[in-house]
Amino acid sequence: MFKSPVSRRQVLTASAGAAAALGAAGLPVLATGSPALAHGHGSGRLRVEPLIPARNRGIILYSVRDRISAAPDDSGVPYGFERVLARLAEIGYKEIEFAGYNQNTSILGRQITPAEIRKILDDNGLVANGAHTSINAATFDQQLDIAETLGMKHIGTGSDPTGSAYRSDWDAAADLWNELGRKARKRGMKLYTHNHDAAYGFLLDAGPLDANGKPTRSSGQRKLEYFFGRTDERYVFFEMDIYWAYVARFKHHTYVDARGNAREDLFDPILTVAPRTERFPLFHAKDGDRAPAQVNGYTMVPLGEGDINFQQFFEVIGEQNYHHANWEQDTAPGGAANPGQSIDFAGISYRNMSDLTIYRR
């Protein structure tokens, strides 16, 4: 059951409570933007729990795509689904989000099947928690079949429901997603969409029309947040990519209102999730170093080595047992010069994800 929306005051109170708990435990209180991790031991009446339960720590295979797609080689680094998934399980990951279902055909002399991938998951104690695939009416049933074979409870895409800035296109996308989400629910799955920064840019939905009859200014409504309200909470869910959400905070903070005035509106990823936290079953736990001179404001790094405050993020949004955190780093592959880099980064990121701790009374 979905909880009633929380107010900004309630969220900030929760954040203050989180800081108080850390302080009471003798730990440094992390300001927004501080490194992700908290360390130390609780005192007295505080009990220590993992902030992200072990069973909910995952990885999207896009992070290690170079090794999933690699042909057999003598580098000593795992390749293909069987070897890479076994290594990820050794590291500690319990969940896998797919980014395609193909590997190099030289491994088996043909393409691997979803049923064979499922056996690899089962043999290694892994669970498929989602997939980035193509979401459209023509192929959706086929994608649901694959997801069912793999045992998924979520099915999604790495693309926005529409790339448009106009309300009418988001309305049409919402109608389609409500329909497909209803079909997914009948198969025991939740349909989700994943964001990049553009999804949290502003709608063009106000002001003078252009030569094509399209609005040229904004009411200040953000595209994906408009989509939240236009889709049915029973059928359509979301995977926040935390890195891209903070890029949106950096990039998309001004708009021109209907009267032509520049307006400032700072995006807050935590305050976007907290009022509707159970519409976000999945997250991409992707870290970044601040780089204000670059267009995105951040550069990607392994989890725990950047400036995004995952401690604050996951503690304030609550519902720790409900949320699944999938590590992702688009830039993890090291290429021929360092073929083991993505697997190494997976290990670093898992250890740092495990170090996120919550202290409860």
Backbone angles phi, psi at 107, to 5 degrees: -70, -45
Q: Which amino acid is at 141?
A: D
Q: Which pLDDT value is given to residue 294?
A: 95
Q: CA-CA distance, 67 to 344, in Å (whole number)? A: 12
| Mean pLDDT along residues 261-265 | 98
DSSP code for 194: E
Q: What is the pLDDT of residues 25-76, one digit of tens each?
A: 444 333 444 445 544 444 457 888 999 999 999 999 999 999 999 999 999 9
Return the minimum-mean-pLDDT range out of 9-13, 110-114, 129-133, 184-188: 9-13
Return the minimum-mean-pLDDT range out of 19-33, 78-92, 138-152: 19-33
Q: Which amino acid is at 246?
A: Y
The reported pTM is 0.90
Give 169's pLDDT tier (boundaries 50, 70, 90): very high
Q: Which residue has the tokens 């927004």?
A: 32
Q: Which pLDDT value is given to residue 2?
A: 36
Tokens found for residue 64: 């290690």
Q: CA-CA distance, 129 to 159, in Å (whole number)? A: 18
- Do 297 and 266 form a contact (C-beta atoms < 8 A)? no
Q: CA-CA distance, 160 to 166, in Å (whole number)? A: 13
DSSP 37-75: ---S---TT-EEEESS-GGGEEEEGGGGHHHHSPPP-SS
Q: What are the chain's domains? A: 8-360 (3.20.20.150)
Q: CA-CA distance, 34 to 36, in Å (whole number)? A: 6
Q: Which pLDDT value is given to residue 13?
A: 47
* Sheet strands (E) in the chain: 47-50, 57-60, 95-98, 127-131, 154-157, 190-194, 206-209, 215-217, 236-241, 254-256, 262-264, 282-285, 287-291, 297-301, 324-327, 357-360
Does position 3 have pLDDT exceeding 60, yes or no? no
Q: Which pLDDT value is given to residue 5?
A: 43
Mean of per-residue pLDDT scores for the chain: 91
Does position 143 have pLDDT exceeding 60, yes or no? yes
CA distances from 268 to 12, 162, 217, 335, 360 (A): 12, 22, 22, 35, 26
Q: What is the pLDDT of residues 95-125, one digit of tens each?
A: 999 999 999 999 999 999 999 999 999 999 9
Q: Which pLDDT value is given to residue 22?
A: 42
Q: Which pLDDT value is given to residue 20?
A: 53
Q: What is the pLDDT of residues 184-243, one digit of tens each?
A: 999 999 999 999 999 999 999 999 999 999 999 999 999 999 999 999 999 999 999 999
Provide the 10 A C-beta neighbour count for residue 307: 17
Q: Which pLDDT value is given to residue 361?
A: 76
| Mean pLDDT along residues 10-19 | 48
